[in-house]
Amino acid sequence: MKFGSDNHEERCPEGHSSAATIATISAAIAADPDIDSSAIEIRMLGPVVLLEGFIKKAADRDKIISHAAMIVGWENVQDRMLSRFPPQ
């Protein structure tokens, strides 16, 4: 299945590369001291950002999605993160 061009530069009107977009999102998430992003992977599928991996707190999901959406827009964020909550 193909969702358009895999080359982000062709789809992004601002001319950002996929690597630059991923780095910007990673930096924004890493700068938030309340988020444990150690098990999160960020990938690009055309203009869409895929957030994959594991979160340890339910609140992390909304924060991570929000950081990514501020950079690429809500319509371009796909959440595939799984919850892995520590035993209480």
Question: Mind listing the pLDDT tens digit for each residue in 8-34?
Answer: 445 555 566 889 999 999 999 999 999
**Residue 75 near residue 48 (C-beta atoms within 8 A):** no
CB atoms within 10 A of CB 85: 10
What pLDDT was estimated at residue 60?
Answer: 93
pLDDT digits (tens, 9 = 90+) for 53-68: 999 888 999 999 999 9
59 three-class SS: helix
Strand pairing category for 77-83 and 48-55: parallel
- Residue with the larger pLDDT of the pair 7 and 41: 41
Question: Of all residues in the chain, what percent carry a pLDDT higher than 70?
Answer: 78
pTM for this predicted structure: 0.78
Structure confidence at residue 54 (pLDDT): 94
Find where tokens 């982000």 sit.
8
- The Cβ-side half-sphere exposure at 32, using a 13 Å CA radius, reads 20
